[in-house]
Amino acid sequence: MNEEINFEKNFVQLKELLKNNEINEFRESFLNHHLYDQSRFFLSLDPVERLEFYNLMSPKEIADIFDLFDSDDIDINPFVDEMSKEYLGEIFDSIYSDNAADLLANLEPETMKEILDSMDAEESTEVKRILHYDDETAGAIMTTEFVSIVANQTVRSAMTVLKAQAEEAETIYYVYVIDSQNRLLGVISLRALITSHDDTLISDIYNDHIIKLDVNEDQEKIAQYFRDYDLLAIPVVDTDNKLIGIVTVDDIIDVIDEEAASDYSGLAGVDTEDVSQNPWQAASKRLPWLIALLFLGMGTASLINHFDSLVSKASILAVFISLITGTAGNAGTQSLAVAVRRLAIRDEDKKNSLMTMILSELITGLITGLVTGITIFIVVSIWKHNMILGIAVGTAMFCAITVANLAGSLIPILMEKLGFDPAVASGPFISTMSDLTSVFIYFNIASLFIHYFN
Amino acid sequence: MNEEINFEKNFVQLKELLKNNEINEFRESFLNHHLYDQSRFFLSLDPVERLEFYNLMSPKEIADIFDLFDSDDIDINPFVDEMSKEYLGEIFDSIYSDNAADLLANLEPETMKEILDSMDAEESTEVKRILHYDDETAGAIMTTEFVSIVANQTVRSAMTVLKAQAEEAETIYYVYVIDSQNRLLGVISLRALITSHDDTLISDIYNDHIIKLDVNEDQEKIAQYFRDYDLLAIPVVDTDNKLIGIVTVDDIIDVIDEEAASDYSGLAGVDTEDVSQNPWQAASKRLPWLIALLFLGMGTASLINHFDSLVSKASILAVFISLITGTAGNAGTQSLAVAVRRLAIRDEDKKNSLMTMILSELITGLITGLVTGITIFIVVSIWKHNMILGIAVGTAMFCAITVANLAGSLIPILMEKLGFDPAVASGPFISTMSDLTSVFIYFNIASLFIHYFN
């Protein structure tokens, strides 16, 4: 997009205006940009430029920029340190409550408290309430800025309420219908409002078949509702069915990204999202896993050591160690990835679906093991002119793959049963585990045939 | 959500009404449900029930259900076979053009042509145009049902246009401003429209700093714009800046899911999305990869075979084969996953970022290799009371990890340079490749020290 490239060039021009303190020219040009581009400009400023910038902007305008920041990506501590607590209070008053809670949660407790104290009482209560909910639940990602109306009024009066709240609300495209106790009755879209006659009663046209979220609903499940129902926002209710917030689609896109990234990182055994780090930091993140797996791998080494006399007698056995462990590891990784995905999209109502999954993976393991085993039997028999060796290697391959397949599906299921996210079961872990069982199987089978190898 | 469970129970009741041909009761109860639930009910019907269902519903009502289907998940062929071409034509007239194109593209060419011929001329032209664009581009996922207005009119007249088009448009929350040549000038949100005075001129209030997509823009890039700018829809223009469609946020959620699933599948070396398949199908999907990697693994086996005399002399060497190949494979998988993510989010303007990536991964490999190498040196020296063996294994480990890290980042970069999706480079492939190099390094280093091992 050429817009974008032009904007990069505009940075220089904007910075010039800022430096020369050309207030009106700067503000006109700057505010004409999309908020995301404004935020990129802001992030490109050095501390001196930022102080000039704060002078030219209102707290509300800075709040709009902060609203785009995600605490996972951007550390606002340097900016917070540059501003007075009063100014910060005004900024945080204008940030949507879900984003304000996210940003505040990543500051020092002391700083967070000071900012909350400087905020408007009503706003800070809402933010505190969100801070209170568990991470990754509806309560933690919802915003409290939405439009609600009572049912016994006309479209005309509802539109008046909506216009009055339009400035504050995160979305005005869904209007929630509540009773006098703030209990959620239904929803009406702005599309329906503007296409209805002004004198129509809301009670006659609102949709009472509403999709809603419990405040403790897990964010992965919420993402599923957005996928299924193609909604722009979903209301959040407490145990009394009182409307306390809404989750909007833009927040859910971030959730979907996060979940996908964490599944991917889990499979690889490394946090792939933290890509800005330097090699030292990267190494320090990867080493714990590598060293832990190294010690697990020492188990395999001890096992081979245990069969040392076998290898001394027939050094040909060493030739197939890495082939069998490698292939079983590959099969286990495939099985693991499929199991993790199945668990994620599984219909939880179906009680016996876990058994079906395990059984299905066992059969898949048997089939792939059989085909791979026969293949390697043929290859080894021809290569080494030794069918007995072929049978030993082929049988070991068959057993090792079947076991690896089963382990690949059992381990994530086990993790879920134990209350962990099954996606953290990593490919490297499965491969290393499977090395151990494969070697065990291989040498036990080989020891049966040892007299035919030399 | 209790709604959902209740709805499952309602299935039985609804089917009863359908069976007894209680037209009004059925329609009232059915149409009161959310479209996604309607679609689930529809999918639960058997062929006989479906024929009764078609009798009670209008083509438009069936179109609303079809609009939720994604051809990747649902095969509409059985439904298409049950209906007359005229009825189908009416249904497809009412489906949003992007979804219609998606569903039609997965029918037999003959059937597709018949349906297109039965459709309204204007609608079928739009669908044909979308069918024409490359998969995974803006053109292929855009819809042509949007609201556009000219700039020289008031808010009042714009609202009249909008209300008239509200029924047809996929979203009415953004209204696009065009000139007399249909060239895109800017955008105005419905929020801005309803909070502006009726007599205000559109030309005074629309936003001309617009984010737009070229019709050939790749869908992964489009997803990035939605993430960055938090928009509900983005307009699509042709090379003359003429407005030809919009991409909406619900379509992009599907794209983000698809991309994440394909990255995940790539890393595992298996298509993890096709989870409905039976064990035979699953095995037939996984075997090609496993067998291909088995033959690559045969390279490693031949290499060990080549060093047979070394193993005969010192069977202790066999003990560390799987430890070194396994650990290097784990390091390579980590490096691969990080490289794939970095390539996906890389700023393409930065010319030398590839070089930086490779260099950074090399240094990370050196550090992790050094730490792991020293660890295994200590372990082996103590365990085997043989420092020379410790040095050999430690050095081999250090070299093997460094090479695996480098390969893990080079292979996806190479794939991208060759025009492939770097995400298809799989963990199992890297592990198997790395087995080969690790064994090569290990035995060459071991052969230098062979006289000290017994």
Q: Got the DSSP string for A92-103?
A: HHHS-HHHHHHH
Top-tier CATH class for B2-140: mainly alpha
- Residue A6, pLDDT > 60, answer no
In whole angstroms, what is the distance from residue A28 CA to residue A33 CA?
9
pLDDT band at A364 (very low <50, low <70, confident <90, very high): very high
- The residue-averaged pLDDT of A280-285 equals 86
- Cβ contact (<8 Å) for B257 and A256? yes
CB A329 within 8 A of CB A435: yes
CB < 8 Å to A423, chain B: none
Can you tell me the distance from the alpha carbon of A286 to that of A273, in angstroms, rounded to the nearest whole number?
13
> Is pLDDT above 90 for A391?
yes
Give B200's pLDDT tier (boundaries 50, 70, 90). very high
**Cβ atoms within 10 Å, residue B292:** 15
- Considering only alpha carbons, which residue of chain B is nearest residue A364? B279
Mean pLDDT of A132-158: 91
Specify the long-range contacts of residues B299-303, CB closer than 8 Å, at least 24 apart.
Answer: B299/B436, B300/A322, B300/A323, B300/A326, B300/B325, B300/B432, B300/B435, B300/B436, B300/B439, B301/A319, B301/A320, B301/A322, B301/A323, B303/B436, B303/B439, B303/B440, B303/B443
Measure B110 CA to nearest chain A CA, in Å.
31
| Minimal Cβ distance to B260: which of A260, A279, A311 | A260
B389-415 confidence digits (pLDDT tens)? 999 999 999 999 999 999 999 999 888
> Residue B276 pLDDT > 80, yes or no?
no
Contact (Cβ atoms closer than 8 angstroms) between residue B89 and residue B100:
no
Top-confidence residue, B273 or A361: A361
pLDDT at B451 over 50: yes
pLDDT of B274 > 80? The answer is no
User: Percent of chain A beyond pLDDT 70?
Assistant: 95
Contact flag A195-B167 (C-beta cutoff 8 Å): yes
Nearest of B405, B389, B409, B401 to residue B441 by alpha carbon: B401
Kindly report the nearest CA distance between residue A23 and chain B, in angstroms. 21
Exposed / middle / buried, residue B131 (Cβ in 10 Å: 0-12, 13-18, 19+): middle
Percent of chain B whose pLDDT exceeds 70: 95
Q: Confidence band (pLDDT; 50, 70, 90) for B202?
A: very high
What is the number of H-type helices and E-type strands within chain A? Answer: 23, 6
Do A330 and B293 lie within an 8 Å CB cutoff? yes
Give yes or no for residue A129 having a pLDDT over 80. yes
pLDDT digits (tens, 9 = 90+) for A61-71: 999 999 888 88
With beta carbons under 8 A apart, name residues in chain B contacting A252: 253
Searching chain A, which residue's CA lies closest to the CA of residue B279? A364
For the ranges A153-157, A259-263, A328-332, the lowest mean pLDDT is seen at A259-263
Per-residue pLDDT at A327 exceeds 90: yes
Domain B279-452 carries which CATH code?
1.10.357.20
> In B, which residues are within 8 Å of A200 by CB distance?
none
| A21: alpha, beta or left? (left if phi > 0; alpha if psi -120 to 50) | left
**B294/A372 CB distance under 8 A:** yes
Q: Which of A231, A319, A363, A434 to mutate to test the interface with B (most CBs of B within 10 A)?
A: A319
CB A213 within 8 A of CB A235: yes
Q: What is the pLDDT of residue B178?
A: 95
Tokens of A368: 């792939």
From residue A65, give the alpha-carbon distance in Å to each of A30, A98, A116, A287, B224: 12, 15, 19, 37, 18
Cβ of B279 within 8 Å of Cβ of A432? The answer is no
Return d(Cα B251, Cα B256) in angstroms, integer.
9
Per-domain residue ranges of chain A = 2-141, 147-257, 279-452
Q: Considering only CB atoms, which chain A residues are within 8 Å of B269?
A: 330, 333-334
Q: ∠ at Cα B56 (B54, B59), nearest 5°?
A: 55
What is the bridge-based pairing of β-strands A147-150 and A174-178?
parallel
What is the number of residues in chain A? 454
Q: How many helices (H) and strands (E) does chain B have?
A: 23, 6
The conformation of residue B213, written as its DSSP 8-state character, comes to: E
A276 pLDDT tier (thresholds 50, 70, 90): low
Mean pLDDT of A438-454: 88
Q: Using an 8 Å Cβ cutoff, are B188 and B153 in contact?
A: no
Instruction: Report CB contact under 8 Å: A341, B264.
Output: yes
Task: Find the range with the poorest average confidence among A75-89, A284-298, A414-428, B105-119.
Answer: A414-428
Strands B243-248 and B233-237: antiparallel
- When pLDDT is cut at 50, 70 and 90, the band that residue A1 belongs to is very low
| Whether B334 and A256 lie within 8 Å, measured CB to CB | no
Least trusted range by pLDDT, from A175-179, A261-265, A351-355: A351-355
> How much of chain A exceeds pLDDT 90, in percent?
47
Residues 6 or more apart whose CB falls under 8 angstroms from that of A35 comprise: A64, A65, A67, A68, B229
Contact A360 B282 (CB under 8 A): yes
Contacts of B236 in chain A (CB under 8 A): none
Nearest residue to A374 (alpha-carbon basis) of B373, A382, A184, B368: A382
Residue of B8, B10, B185, B230 best to disrupt the A interface, most CBs of A under 10 A: B230
Q: What is the pLDDT of residues B218-268, one digit of tens each?
A: 898 899 899 888 899 999 999 899 999 999 998 899 888 888 888 888 888
Nearest by Cα to A252 from B173, B250, B138: B250
pLDDT band (50, 70, 90) for residue B90? very high
Residue with tokens 């004198």: A199
* Interface contact B256-A260, CB threshold 8 A: yes
Contacts of A5 (CB under 8 A, 6+ apart): none
Length of chain B: 454
Which pLDDT score is estimated for A2? 43
Q: Tell me if B227 and A257 make a contact (CB, 8 A cut-off).
A: yes
CA gap B212, B239 in Å, rounded: 12
Residue A331 has pLDDT above 80, yes or no: yes
Cβ separation A298–B323 shorter than 8 A: yes
Q: Are B176 and B184 in contact (CB under 8 A)?
A: yes
Residue A166 confidence (pLDDT):
85
Task: Please measure the distance between the N-terminal and C-terminal CA atoms of chain A and give it in whole angstroms.
Answer: 69
pLDDT of residue A70: 82
Q: How many CB pairs under 8 A join A and B?
A: 352
Residue carrying structure tokens 């033959």: B295
Q: How many Cβ atoms are within 10 Å of A19's Cβ, its own excluded?
A: 12
In chain B, which residues have their Cβ closer than 8 Å to the Cβ of A270? 333-334, 337-338
DSSP A420: S
CA pair distance B232, B169, nearest whole angstrom: 14
Cβ-Cβ contacts under 8 Å, B297 against chain A:
322-323, 326-327
Examine the pLDDT at A142 and tell me if it is beyond 60.
yes
Position B7 confidence tier, pLDDT thresholds 50, 70, 90: low
H/E segment holding residue A170? none
CA–CA distance from B350 to each of A254, A279, A282, B345 (Å)? 25, 19, 21, 12
* Least trusted range by pLDDT, from A28-37, A392-401, A405-414: A28-37
Predicted confidence band of residue B352 (pLDDT cuts 50, 70, 90): low
CATH 1.25.60.10 fits A2-141, yes or no: yes
Exposed/middle/buried for B246, CB within 10 Å: 0-12, 13-18, 19+? buried
Average pLDDT of the residues in A271-297: 84
Strands of the A184-189 sheet, one edge to the other: A147-150, A174-178, A184-189
| Partner residue facing B166 (CB), from A191, A257, A301 | A191
Number of other CB atoms surrounding residue B299 within 10 Å: 15
Buried b (16+ CB within 10 A) or exposed e, B22-38: eeeebeeebeebbbbbb
Of A157, A151, A198, the residue nearest A177 (C-alpha)? A151
The type of residue at A111 is: T
Note whether A331 contacts B167, CB cutoff 8 Å: no
Are B371 and A331 inside 8 Å of each other by CB? Answer: no
Q: Inspect the interface and report whether the beta carbons of A301 and B312 lie closer than 8 Å.
A: no
CA angle A107, A113, A118 (to 5 degrees): 115
Cβ-defined contact of B275 to A166 (cutoff 8 Å): no
| pLDDT of A300 strictly over 50 | yes
Identify the helix (H) or strand (E) that includes residue B149: strand B147-150
Residue A158: per-residue pLDDT: 94
pLDDT at B2 over 50: no
A68: burial class by Cβ within 10 Å (0-12, 13-18, 19+)? buried
Looking at per-residue confidence, does B41 or A272 come out higher?
Answer: B41
Among partner residues B32, B209, B283, which is closest to A367 by beta-carbon distance? B283
Read off the pLDDT of residues B175-186 as tens digits, 9 standing for 90 and up. Answer: 999 999 999 999
DSSP alpha helices (H): ranges in B385-423? Answer: 387-417
For residues A355 and A6, the model is more confident at A355
Question: Which residue reads 């009412």 in tokens?
Answer: B94
Question: CATH assignment of B147-257?
Answer: 3.10.580.10
Whether B10 has a pLDDT exceeding 60, the answer reads yes
Q: Cβ neighbours of residue B122 under 8 Å, at least 6 residues apart?
A: none
Distance from CA of B107 to the nearest CA of A (A): 23
Mutation pick from B296, B311, B338, B436 vs chain A, by most beta carbons of A within 10 Å, is B338
- Tell me how close the Cα of B362 comes to any Cα of chain A, in angstroms: 8
